[in-house]
Structure 1
């Protein structure tokens, strides 16, 4: 599904809304955006460019792409550029996702959280 005007992640990716893009891969069509409601000292969100109504719907319809996003998020959190931006990532990080009621913004995402 293509981006939607009501989705804040889609708007950030299009440059229409403010947001900190930590990493972007236009070939793979993935980005990492800094969370505006952090649950940790480092809280980034790996998102695909395409919009789906939930992470669960994205995984169900695009299982291989979901795995690719997960792997890409893990790789990006380990890069020298990421560690330079957020040295706490060297201590470790958690990747997680929400399915169901805990997903507050309808767009697929994988959370990257520094271990505290």
Structure 2
């Protein structure tokens, strides 16, 4: 049973001097996340996990890696929410102004 498990996560490989065999970690098919950007990447080659990666997925686009876990940058999250609200507000104002202009035009044309 233990040997079967080892085959799933390890692969045989030649040592650097080609005089012996060694086990090489095999994480192919696993997804890792960059601790710098949070971007995901699938492992496609045998070997250790790439540097600056973790198998733990960030929960939000505003998560930053603290060395052990993802921590949400609440200031960045709040700023993005305020920015989105401002954009929505401006979009609604623009739509209202367009409607008012159309109503005024119809009123002027109908009143002549």
Q: TM-score range by the shorter chain?
A: under 0.3
Q: TM-score, with normalisation over the residues of structure 1?
A: 0.23
Which structure carries more relative contact order (alpha carbon 8 Å, separation 6+)? 1
Q: TM-score, with normalisation over the residues of structure 2?
A: 0.24
| Structure with a larger share of its residues in helix | 2
